[in-house]
A and B are shown apart, each in its own frame.
Chain A
Amino acid sequence: MTSAAVTPETTRATGDRIARFAGDAAVDVQLLCFPYAGGGTQVFRAWQARVPPGIGVIGVRLPGREQGFREPAIDTWPDALAVLVAAVAPEAERGPYAFFGHSLGARLAYELTHRLAAAGHRPPETLVVSACRAPGVAPRWPPMNSMDGPTLTARLRQMKGVPDEVLTNRQLMAMLEPVLRADLRLAETWAASPGCLTAPILALCGERDDIDPYEDMLDWQRHTTGAFAIRSFPAGHFFLREQEEAVVAVIGAHLEACRTS
């Protein structure tokens, strides 16, 4: 890996919503990926090497996240969707694309699919919702965004979403916690848009996920007029990291099937 293919100017991410991982490779279908609360587009960087040729992996980030940490961290749905529609609509016009979102990311991708449809944009070839209860299903855990610091840290440790080394690093947590809270506020104030999408939905879940378990995801089938499928992986809420190879293989095969159908 060298810096030869991409200049530093194009890779610097401040203020940029879109992180492209395909480099110079030819792209037939763009896979736009939305991370979980507290996660970044970096989660998806390694996916590019795992997807079939012709798929370009893109990470989408909200203002205030990752290298944009000096921007205000948006934490309301109208603001978040306005920003994301502006960033993603041009990508939708480039050609076939698909959405993947994990947890908060799935909610963002679902709402964005509705907004893009309402604005007359090309719909995604498929919407992959991962570790996210279906619209209208009640959450199983109390909200985290308003927990005090120690309670939040304890819950994060229990969820195994943030490495211990990060949780115990005061300097880094001081920088990351406001962003994480903004993400959690979004995730926990989601009022799902009603109605059906035309895009097929693929739901992915963790067999041991006690936050968004399988049974809470089945109702996603009521939100598409297209095909629906659900797959589970032997892990908890963050199965996309523990089972990365299997997860990306399923998504890759699913996209190939969408392309040829």
Chain B
Amino acid sequence: MSPTDDQTALGAPTMTATEEAIAEIWRGLFGITEVGVGDDFFELGGNSLTAIKFLARLEERFGLDVLLPETLYDDARLSRLARSIDEATA
């Protein structure tokens, strides 16, 4: 079952562009194929080192300081992080 099927079955909306961008980074960082909006960076195995890589890739994609370490550690769910980035880039 693909992530899209899974979300459709659960009635969840498809990902926004920002959410998809994060999901793509996480798939590469953690070597996994399925990432959902409810997934949590630390639940997937994130630590301080992967946090740096993640924040660096966000910076390349969205610009400097688009997500602060504090925000990541506060609530590391994908949907929440996407919202923070959208607010920072709005």
Q: Which residues of A contact B (CB under 8 A)?
A: 1-4, 6-8, 11-14, 40, 42-43, 45-46, 66-67, 69-70, 162-163, 165-166, 169, 171-172, 175-176
A174 and chain B: residue at smallest CB distance: B69
Cα-based distance from A156 to B79 in the complex (angstroms): 35
Contact yes or no, A42 B42, CB < 8 A: yes
Q: Which residues of B contact A (CB under 8 A)?
A: 6, 30, 32, 34, 36, 38-40, 42-49, 51-53, 55, 68-70, 73-77
B36 and chain A: residue at smallest CB distance: A3
Complex interface: chain B residues within 8 A of A45 (CB): 45
Cα-based distance from A176 to B52 in the complex (angstroms): 12
Complex interface: chain B residues within 8 A of A46 (CB): 45
Contact yes or no, A172 B48, CB < 8 A: yes
Contact yes or no, A169 B36, CB < 8 A: no
Contact yes or no, A2 B48, CB < 8 A: no
Contact yes or no, A175 B69, CB < 8 A: yes
Contact yes or no, B43 A67, CB < 8 A: no
Cα-based distance from A207 to B45 in the complex (angstroms): 28
Complex interface: chain A residues within 8 A of B77 (CB): 8, 12
Contact yes or no, B40 A175, CB < 8 A: no
A12 touches which of B6, B40, B49 (Cβ 8 Å): B40
Most buried by B among A6, A43, A165: A165
Contact yes or no, B52 A172, CB < 8 A: yes
Contact yes or no, A67 B73, CB < 8 A: yes
Could you list 19 further interchain pairs (A-B, Cβ under 8 angstroms) beyond the known A3-B36, A8-B40, A14-B75? A2-B39, A3-B40, A4-B6, A7-B38, A8-B38, A11-B40, A12-B75, A42-B47, A45-B45, A66-B42, A67-B73, A69-B70, A165-B53, A166-B49, A169-B52, A171-B55, A172-B48, A175-B69, A175-B73
